[in-house]
Amino acid sequence: MKPTKFITTLAITMFALTACNNGQQPANTETAEDAAPETQEVKSLEHGTYQAQPSNGATVTLELPATDDEVLASIEQYRDTVQATEPVTYVTVDLDNREGTGDLSIDLSVFDGAGNQYEFHSLDQYTDEIRPSTDYAADEPVTVLADGTEMPAREGTRLTNETSDLLEEYTGYASQGARETTVHVYQGDNLPDQFTRVAITERTDTGSGQQIEAHPTQK
**Amino acid, single-letter form, for residue 181:** T
What is the rounded CA–CA span in Å between residue 154 and residue 142? 8
Give the predicted TM-score (pTM) of the model.
0.74
Give me the pLDDT at residue 9, please: 45
| Rg of the Cα atoms in the chain | 34
pLDDT in tens, the chain (219 residues): 444 444 444 344 444 444 444 555 555 555 555 554 554 555 789 999 999 999 899 999 999 999 888 889 889 988 888 888 899 999 999 999 999 988 999 999 999 999 999 999 999 889 888 888 887 777 788 888 888 888 888 777 777 777 777 777 777 889 999 999 999 999 999 999 999 999 999 988 776 678 999 999 975
- Helix, strand, coil abundance in the chain, percent, nearest 5: 30, 35, 40
CA 72, 119, 107, 58 dihedral sign is positive
What is the rounded CA–CA span in Å between residue 137 and residue 152? 13
Which pLDDT tens digit goes with each residue over 132-155? 888 777 778 888 888 888 888 877
Residue ranges covered by each domain of the chain? 47-216
Give me the pLDDT at residue 86, please: 92
Return phi, psi of residue 56, to 5°: -85, 0
Separation in Å, CA 8 to CA 14, 16, 20, 21, 179: 10, 13, 19, 20, 98
DSSP letter string, 102-137: S-EEEEEEEE-TT--EEEEEEHHHHHHHHS-EEETT
